[in-house]
C-alpha cells in the first residue's frame, strides 16, 4: 500500500545553537543517512559508471532527470520495467527532479548558465534573446522544443508529476520556474507568487491524486522547491508558504550568489519544519557543501564529480589537479595515496594519463569512480563530525588545506 508511513525523516544529532544536523531519510527502497551527497544519473545512468561501481563509492541514492527521461526512453517504458531502480539495476533510494531546470534553462536561462557569481556577469550572459530561446513560459506551464529532434512539448505541474510518478522515484520535486540572478526584483516576485508557488501546490495535489489512484505502488514523496534569489524577504515568504503545506520535504533552488549561499539557506531553514528533509539542488564545491550543511541542508546533488573527471580533473586534499600534467607521466602512485576507491587501489597516475592521451574510455570511468568516492566520502565525514561534535574544527582544517592556493 502507498502509505505515508513508508517515507519519513528523523533527526539523529544536532549541532548546539546551529541548524546543522545528522539524520535518516526513510524511503520505500531504503534509508539515507544524512547529510549525504546524492550522485546524479541524469538519464538513468551515471556517466561512464555501472550501478555497482556507484554503490562501491558509498553512494546511498541516485538522482535522475524527469526532462531527459521523458524525452528518452519515456516514462511509460520505465514504468513497465518496474520503475527507475529496476530499470537501471539500482536497488537503493532514487530522486527525480521535475525537469524545470532543463526546460526553463532553454528559455530565460541561456544554455545552463545560471551564475552563482554575479561579479563581471551581465544580463546578456545569462538571459537568452527571445529568438534564441527554446522554451516559452506562461502562468500555466512551459512550451519547449526537444533538443533531440526539435519537436514541441509542454510541461505543466500535473504533467511533471505524471512523468515522475511513471518513473517511480522515491522522492520527486515539484515543478518550479527557474530564474537567474539577472532577473529583476519585480520578475522574481511575480515568478515566485504566480508560478512557482501555485505550481508547487498543483504538483502536490496531482501526486496526491496519483497516490490515491494507485495505492498498490510505493509511496512517492514530493518536495516543494523554494525560489526567491538573493532576497531575504522573498526567501522567508516562500519558506513560510511551503511550511504551511503538506510537502514531504523541501528543495532549496534557484540562482544563488555563491558568497551568500550560507545566509540564504539559513533564511529558509529557520522557517521550514525541522522534521522534514531539505535538499539543495546542484552544488558540489566543498566550501558550498560545508556552508549548506552548517545551515541545515540534508542532501544535495551535482554532476560535477563525473563531469570534471571526464575532462581530466581529480580531487585531492590539496585541491583539484589535472591528470594531463607532464609531471604525472612517470608517476606510479595512485591519484590519492590514502583513498580507498577502486581506482586508487588498482591504478596509477601514469596509467590513467596514458588512457587520456590514448583517448581510451576507461579513463572516464576510473576518474569518475575516484571523484564520486571523494565527494561522497567528504560528506560522510561531515556527518560523522556532526555526530562527534567536531564539525567546525573539521571544516576549518579541511577547507584550509583544500584551498591553500586560493588567492586572497
State the catalytic residues: 97, 301
3-class state of residue 226 by DSSP: strand
The CA-to-CA distance between both ends of the chain, in Å, stands at 57
Nearest to 178 by CA among 127, 213, 246, 236: 127
Dmax of the chain from CA atoms? 62
- The sign of the CA dihedral 196, 39, 146, 158 is negative
Cell of 212: 490515491
- Tell me which DSSP letter residue 127 carries: B
Whether 174 contacts 108, CB under 8 Å:
no
C-alpha 89: how far from chain center: 20
Task: Give yes or no for a cis peptide into 121 (omega within 30° of 0).
Answer: no
Cell of 41: 544519473
DSSP string, 243-305: HTS--SEEEE-S---GGGHHHHHHHHHTTS-TTS-EEESS---HHHHHHHHHTT--EEEESHH
Cell of 308: 570534471
Nearest to 398 by CA among 325, 253, 293, 256: 293
Q: In 105-161, where do the E strands start and end?
A: 135-137, 142-145, 152-155
Which class for 403: exposed (0-12), middle (13-18), buried (19 or more C-beta within 10 A)? Answer: middle
Q: For strand 30-34 and strand 21-27, is the pairing parallel, antiparallel, or unpaired?
A: antiparallel
Cell of 140: 500555466
Whether 188 contacts 108, CB under 8 Å:
no
The HSE-up count of residue 324 (CA atoms within 13 Å, CB side) is 11
Which class for 120: exposed (0-12), middle (13-18), buried (19 or more C-beta within 10 A)? Answer: exposed
3-class state of residue 250 by DSSP: strand
Cell of 65: 532527470
Amino acid at each position: 500500500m502507498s502509505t505515508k508511513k513508508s517515507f519519513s525523516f528523523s533527526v539523529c544529532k544536532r549541532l548546539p545553537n546551529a541548524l546543522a544536523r545528522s539524520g535518516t531519510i526513510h524511503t520505500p527502497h531504503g534509508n539515507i543517512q544524512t547529510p549525504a551527497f546524492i550522485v546524479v544519473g541524469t538519464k538513468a545512468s551515471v556517466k561512464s559508471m555501472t550501478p555497482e561501481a556507484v554503490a562501491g563509492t558509498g553512494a546511498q541514492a541516485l538522482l535522475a532527470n524527469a526532462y531527459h527521461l521523458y524525452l528518452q526512453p519515456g516514462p511509460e517504458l520505465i514504468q513497465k520495467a518496474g520503475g527507475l531502480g529496476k530499470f537501471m539495476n539500482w536497488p537503493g533510494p532514487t530522486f527525480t527532479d521535475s525537469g524545470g531546470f532543463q526546460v526553463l534553462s532553454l528559455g530565460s536561462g541561456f544554455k545552463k548558465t545560471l551564475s552563482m557569481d554575479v561579479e563581471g556577469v551581465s544580463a546578456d550572459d545569462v538571459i537568452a534573446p527571445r529568438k534564441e530561446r527554446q522554451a516559452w513560459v506562461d502562468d500555466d506551464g512551459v512550451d519547449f522544443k526537444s533538443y533531440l529532434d526539435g519537436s514541441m512539448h509542454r510541461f505543466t505541474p500535473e504533467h511533471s508529476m505524471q512523468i515522475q510518478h511513471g518513473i517511480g522515484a522515491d522522492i520527486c520535486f515539484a515543478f518550479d520556474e527557474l530564474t537567474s540572478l539577472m532577473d529583476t526584483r519585480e520578475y522574481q516576485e511575480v515568478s515566485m507568487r504566480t508560478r512557482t508557488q501555485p505550481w508547487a501546490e498543483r504538483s502536490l495535489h496531482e501526486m496526491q491524486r496519483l497516490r490515491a489512484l494507485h495505492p498498490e505502488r510505493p509511496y512517492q514523496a514530493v518536495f516543494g522547491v523554494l525560489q526567491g534569489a538573493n532576497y531575504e524577504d522573498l526567501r522567508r515568504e516562500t519558506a513560510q508558504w511551503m511550511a504551511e503545506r503538506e510537502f514531504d520535504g523541501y528543495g532549496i533552488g534557484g540562482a544563488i550568489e555563491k558568497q551568500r549561499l550560507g545566509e540564504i539557506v539559513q533564511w529558509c531553514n529557520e522557517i521550514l519544519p525541522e522534521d522534514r528533509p531539505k535538499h539543495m539542488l546542484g552544488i558540489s564545491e566543498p566550501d558550498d557543501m560545508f556552508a549548506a550543511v552548517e545551515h541545515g541542508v540534508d542532501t544535495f546533488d551535482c554532476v560535477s564529480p563525473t563531469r570534471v573527471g571526464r575532462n581530466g580533473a581529480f580531487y585531492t586534499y590539496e585541491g583539484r589537479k589535472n591528470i594531463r600534467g607532464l609531471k604525472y607521466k612517470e608517476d606510479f602512485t595512485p591519484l590519492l595515496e590514502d583513498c580507498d576507491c577502486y581506482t586508487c587501489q588498482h591504478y596509477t597516475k601514469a596509467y590513467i594519463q596514458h588512457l587520456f592521451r590514448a583517448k581510451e574510455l576507461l579513463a572516464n570511468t576510473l576518474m569518475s569512480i575516484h571523484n564520486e568516492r571523494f565527494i561522497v566520502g567528504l560528506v560522510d565525514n561531515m556527518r560523522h563530525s556532526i555526530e562527534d561534535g567536531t564539525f567546525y574544527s573539521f571544516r576549518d582544517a579541511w577547507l584550509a588545506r583544500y584551498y591553500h592556493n586560493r588567492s586572497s
